[in-house]
Chains A and B, each alone.
Chain A
Amino acid sequence: MLSVTDLQKTYPSGDEALKGVSLDVTGSETVAMIGPSGAGKSTFIRCVNRLTEPTGGSVELDGLEITGLSGKELRNARRDMGMIFQEYNLIERLTVMENVLSGRLGYVSTWDAFRRKFAGDDIERAYEVLERVGLGGHENNRADELSGGQRQRVGIARAILQRPKILLVDEPTSSLDPESSRAVMDLLTEIAAEDDIPVLINIHEVDLAEEYAGRIVGLRDGQKVFEGGPDDLDETARGQIYRGEEIPEGAGPTGKVAEAGTPGESSQEEGQIRRG
């Protein structure tokens, strides 16, 4: 379970990218984070595995506080977090197999990494994962020979090979056409459900978020302005997320006053039920 509390990021320039955002991701739920460009979505995800250094707040993964770690401890924590990027970030000149196996780098010695020597189990599993993402037989292709959709599948395979406790997904579909976007989202949610891995995903396309996520979080200006199920994301909520419309005093997580029950909580319960 990922538990983020009051996460803050202020850049040296004084820009406040995150002004205290809290969020829990549990079970095998898929949480989508939406919001306008510059709202802090990417910063949030990158602060979780500390590719970006947060300036305040706490990030806990299965009870382990991530923010204070350094060196070997931080690397070990990162092994438990698979990350998928907008621009795929594959190692273009290496083969698909090397890219997928790079997900195991946290477990091999530097000398073995130099010789590209990975454990037999890892190689076997890499073949399996490649078949699972629909790239069986492509292991010897160079990553730069693949299409966008195929590359993102390699990215997913690399993350899966880490056997992560959570998948951090940063705009996975922004560089893809609608068809490939759906295929990638299908794959992500499918794997998350099968392997029981929670997914935190940043996404531009609101319709994809509504379709695939169990819970949606709206970020605006470094602050959480919405949290609820896809059904709660009505025109008012969209206005509050994307156009900065005012949130009434005493509003619940979905940005509305006095609604029966708090949908934010109910979807969390749902997640726990599924996990049980």
Chain B
Amino acid sequence: MATEQPEQRTWRRPTAFYNHYVKWAVYVVITVFLLWSAWNMRISVARVIEGWGAAIGLIQGMVPPEFTPFKMDLLIEGLIESLAMSVIATIVGVLLSIPVAFMSAENIAPRPVYWVGRGIITVSRSFHELIIAIIAVKAVGIGALAGVIALSYKTVGFFAKLLAEEIEDIDSGQMEATEATGANRVQTMLFGVVPQVMPRIIGLTIYRWDINIRHSTIVGIVGAGGIGATLLNSFDQYDYDFFLTIIIAIIAIVMVGELISTYIRGRIQ
């Protein structure tokens, strides 16, 4: 038969990289980097076994957790301080965030204001709360105030960024309609914008409170108040029984906070 077979066509999935050579090169680089990292840390099998033994010793030292009245008082005092810090930091942070969010929404803020708002958010997001807590402790002294400052500061970056994105997504028709009645700028925001983002404001506040509870248990490690200080003390004094008690209490508090937050957010959807 002289009929020519049409050449069979092949197909390869297009790659996200420039071509398949680049793709394999990238894979090789990633693998080499992983191997180098492992080698760099020199984690030997013997070291792992040795560490394992120490870990078991530590855990054995922790059980049973300690519930003596004196320690319970310490625990409750620390927890209440942590909770109070988280509540105050959330309220202060949210109140500061809302104007920043409006400043950072591209669709309503004039250009220069927008950049100032974005700048505030970026600066707030740049540092870990522990760094801010260390600075705050130096500035205002050891105690809960420093923790509140650190947590409020972090709240602004988180809350304003997410709220600004929500404001950018609003239906501008409602804003225009308000403007068309002769309302001034603030009134236009109050009627044309705020009702649209209110559920998000509530949801984000609850969510941030949930995060602040968790973080309020940690800033105490650098002296910024709350249960963290108690936690570190117990550890430094080899008081592992009490250490476990605190850990359990923190888990309980965070879980309760999460339950409350889930419930409220479910209700406002």
Question: Do A and B truly interact?
Answer: yes
Cβ of A78 and Cβ of B174 under 8 Å apart? no
Residue numbers in A under 8 Å from B199 (CB-CB): 93
Query: A90, A93, A105: which contacts B182 (Cβ < 8 A)?
Result: A105
CA distance A19 to B177 in the complex (A): 26
Q: Residue A83 at the B interface, CB < 8 A?
A: yes
Chain B interface residue count: which class? Answer: 20 to 34
Which B-chain residue is minimally distant from A106 (CB atoms)?
B182
Residue numbers in A under 8 Å from B171 (CB-CB): 89, 92
Query: B58-66, B140-148, B189-197, B235-243: which lies at the A interface?
Result: B189-197
Q: Residue B173 at the A interface, CB < 8 A?
A: yes
CA distance A113 to B173 in the complex (A): 19
CA distance A94 to B198 in the complex (A): 11
Residue numbers in B under 8 Å from A87 (CB-CB): 173
Cβ of B181 and Cβ of A92 under 8 Å apart? no
- Given the known interface contacts A102-B191, A113-B190, the answer about A89 and B179 at a Cβ–Cβ threshold of 8 Å is no
Query: B178, B195, B198: which contacts A105 (Cβ < 8 A)?
Result: B178
Cβ of B173 and Cβ of A89 under 8 Å apart? yes
Contact mask B156-191 → A, CB, 8 Å, 1/0?
000000000000000101101111111110110011
Cβ of A90 and Cβ of B174 under 8 Å apart? yes
Residue numbers in B under 8 Å from A91 (CB-CB): 174, 177-178, 191-192, 195-196
Query: A76, A90, A98, A113: which contacts B177 (Cβ < 8 A)?
Result: A90
- Given the known interface contacts A87-B173, A89-B174, A110-B186, the answer about A78 and B195 at a Cβ–Cβ threshold of 8 Å is no
Q: Residue A75 at the B interface, CB < 8 A?
A: yes
Q: How far is the CB of B188 from chain A (nearest CB, A)?
A: 8
Q: How far is the CB of A89 from chain B (nearest CB, A)?
A: 4
Q: Residue A103 at the B interface, CB < 8 A?
A: yes
Query: A49, A82, A98, A106: which contacts B183 (Cβ < 8 A)?
Result: A106
CA distance A80 to B173 in the complex (A): 20
Residue numbers in B under 8 Å from A81 (CB-CB): 180
Q: How far is the CB of B166 from chain A (nearest CB, A)?
A: 13
Cβ of A92 and Cβ of B177 under 8 Å apart? no
Q: Residue A51 at the B interface, CB < 8 A?
A: yes
Contact mask A64-94 → B, CB, 8 Å, 1/0?
0000000000011111111101010111111
Cβ of A94 and Cβ of B195 under 8 Å apart? yes
Cβ of A105 and Cβ of B173 under 8 Å apart? no
Residue numbers in A under 8 Å from B198 (CB-CB): 93
List B8-33 residues whose CB lies under 8 Å from chain A: none
